[in-house]
Amino acid sequence: MEIYTGQRPSVFRIFGKYMRKGLYSILTQGPIPTHLAFIMDGNRRFAKKHKMKEAEGYKAGYLALLRTLTYCYELGVRYVTIYAFSIDNFRRQPREVQCVMNLMMEKIEEIIVEESIMNAYDVGVRIVGNLNLLDEPIRIAAEKIMRATANNSRFVLLIAVAYSSTDEIVHAVEESSKDKLNSNEVCNNGIEAEQEFKEANGTGNSVIPVQKTESYSGINLADLEKNTYVNPHPDVLIRTSGLSRLSNYLLWQTSNCILYSPFALWPEIGLRHLVWTVMNFQRHHSYLEKHKEYLK
């Protein structure tokens, strides 16, 4: 897959691709992360640093995203989740919010146009978050691209939009409660029908056995996991610009996750950062796997 759209001459791009293959052949001697998550921090600071307009900073960040996705795909990372827009970001200046939304709409439409390429490379796009907070045109476009790539699974790109981890947890609890209520209704209806049948035929009493209802009370961990927006859990979370805050992002999913905070601003992220991410993951892989087994 080649989705990088930089301006280098094709001969250098081809040479770089073969160089990366050699590097990947070394890295893949060890375990490769299944899921990488990114907080794309530093677009505005990049624009200020280079005396650019904020919109140009976000566009530079988009090109950096394309490069990073290319590297992840080539390396064999199956899931990538990006923090595109937080619910808290709606509090920013209306001009900046509109700029990001316009760019988002533009890129979603580009993905729709390139739908056949996404399907050819088996790339699934999942846009997650409280989509009801989005303007209708963006929400409709998001739903369209998700439907178009729903059966693709070789490489899955999750885009967190109108997302916050606290909102996700509330959503998971609400959906789990609905599931439990539905299960209880089905269970109770079945028990009542059985009891009525027994009473009609003189084969039972009118008391519902306690053990019939106990298993349907309460919400467990599996219920919440099923209803979170982002699964599986990331192996590494990368936040650019040197900050180590999670900023209300994947709080539920990062309890057993490596955190990496390179000082590069997001538009400056490169292959070396991904290589370091994989090497650091491999160094801690044994401990992480043992810890996962302990938590089961």
| Catalytic residue numbers, as ranges | 41
DSSP reduced 3-state for 259 = strand
Kind of pairing, strands 236-239 and 258-260? parallel
CA 206 to chain centre: 50
CA 63 to chain centre: 19
**Which residue, 169, 185, 176, 155, is CA-closest to 81?**
155
Give the whole-angstrom CA distance, residue 103 versus residue 60.
11
**Which residue, 177, 176, 210, is CA-closest to 191?**
210
- φ, ψ dihedrals at 34, nearest 5°: -80, -35
Give the whole-angstrom CA distance, residue 253 versus residue 35.
11
CA 114 to chain centre: 21
How far apart are the two ends of the chain, measured CA to CA in Å?
36
